[in-house]
Structure formats: structure tokens, C-alpha cells
Amino acid sequence: MRKGLLLAAACYTIWGLFPLYFHLLHAIAPAQVLMHRMLWSLLLLSVVQVARGEWGWLRALARQPRVIAGFATSAGLLSLNWFIYIWAVDQGRVVDASLGYFMNPLVNILLGALVLKERLRSGQWIAVATASLGVLWLTLQGHGFPWIGVSLGVSFGLYGLLRKTAALGALEGLSLETLLLAPLAGAYLGWVSLQGHNDFAQAPLDTRLWLVAAGPITAIPLVMFAAGARRIPLSLLGLMQYIAPTLQLLLGVLLYHEPFNASRAAGFCFIWAALAIYSGEGLLRFWQERRGVVAT
């Protein structure tokens, strides 16, 4: 349990500090950062898979086109999520990006009801309705529809939905997704090179090294998450996921001085209230079920 807590906390802390990393790549166009992230992640994951001798699953997939098609879809959602986040940080919209990951658990609840036909409990419905009021408030207060947060929350929610029923584990799945995206990434970087707009070639050495570091920075937290998730209850893991967007929000407001006035804070308060309802209801149900098992 202790090791699981440490791994999960470290993973979410790294994800919460991602704005610091992507700010270091401000000189690189967001689309090129995305393509490099795909390629360097694939390289690192390939080395890990070869070292562990675990490429057998890839040969087996050659006879399962439907599985490959499913991972091609999840790869597209993942790349969309990555691009929006990288672009948001580059544009000084870290606070908007944090909103998406605050909303993600509630998006997952809604997708479970709409797609998987799961029956929502009353507390879950109240949480979703409260979050919807927050989005409506932000829109009506002149901040505009919070499309960055909603897009990040929905794209990652759909990605998680596909991976929930996927045939591969976390490392193998990400390896396949980056493998499917690699031709696109290579073709795009080749095209911008021919156009004379390859930012990597023109960047100073330290920026190039940070870009290469996208591989371990992407893969290592994922490994830590997978290891931590196996050691602690899902309800506890669900609470710990708020570490990442909280850190992102604090960085956006305190370090990058992004606007966060009273009306905007009120919109976030709706989201936080929804998360409190969702978390409280989940914890209450967990303890009730645990007491029922103990009593039995």
C-alpha cells in the first residue's frame, strides 16, 4: 500500500508539473512537439519491450485487424488530447487546461451512462449536473465556452473508454498507439524539413535535449501509474488524480499569472463542488460495502 501511494503520488505530481516542461519547448511549434513526443516515446518503449523480450503480442495482433483498428482510434484521441494540451500551455492557457482534468472523472461517469449503459446513482447525477452548471456559468460570464477544458476532458474520457476494454496492457497499448502514429509523425517532420521549418534542427542544443526527453517524460509516469494502480484501491486512486490538475492550476495562476478573477473562480467552484459530491459519494459507498463484507 505504501509503495502504491508513493508511485501514484509521484506519477500525478509529474503530470501536474507538465506545464513547466512544455514551457521549455516554447520555441518549438506545438504540432512539431507532438510529433517528436510520439517518436521519442516509441523509441523508448521499443527499447523497453526488446529488453524484456515482450514483442510477441505484436505478432499475434497481425491477425486481429479489429483490435488494430480500435487502437488506431484510441491513438487518434490520444494525439488530439496531447496536441490540445501542448497548444494550451504554449498559448498561456494552463488554467483552462487544468479544468479539463478536473472534469475528467465526471466525463467518465457520463460516458459510462451513455455508452456502457451503466446506471448512475443519485449522487453521481447530482455531480454531473453541478459540473454542467459550472460550464454554463463560465460561458455566460463572458469567458466563452471553455472548449479547451471540455475538449481535454472529453477526448481523454473517450480514450479511457476505449482502453477500458482494450486487449493490451498500458505499456503494450501505448507502444502500439505510438507505432501506429509514427508514420504520420515521420511524414509531417519530413515535410516541414523540406519546407525549411524544422524547429528541431534550428533550436539550441538544450531545447533539442528537452525534446528528446519527451520519451521518458511520457513513458515513466505511465509505468509508475500502472504499478501504483495495482497496489491501492481504485477509490483512493480516484482521489489522488486531483493532484495533477491542482498543481497545473496553481502553476497557471501563481507562476504564469494567468487571469483567475472572481467570476472565473466561481465557475471552477461548481466543478470542485461536483468533484466533492462525486468523491464523497464514492467513499461512502466504498465504506458501506467494506463494512458489509466485514459483517458477512
User: Alpha helix (H) ranges present in the chain?
Assistant: 2-16, 18-24, 30-52, 56-61, 65-90, 94-114, 122-138, 147-164, 170-194, 199-202, 205-212, 214-229, 234-240, 243-250, 262-295
Boundaries of every domain in the chain: 2-289
- Angstrom distance (rounded) from CA 92 to CA 114: 33
Q: Sorting pLDDT into bands at 50, 70 and 90, what band is 1? A: confident
pLDDT at 250 over 90: yes
pLDDT in tens, 115-161: 878 787 888 888 889 988 988 888 887 667 899 999 999 998 888 88
Contact present, 234 and 286 (Cβ < 8 Å)? no
* The pLDDT value given to residue 36: 95
pLDDT in tens, 90-112: 999 999 999 999 988 888 888 88
Q: Report the share of the chain in percent with pLDDT over 70.
A: 95
| pTM to 2 decimal places | 0.89
Question: For 215-237, what is the mean pLDDT?
Answer: 78
**Mean of pLDDT over the chain:** 86
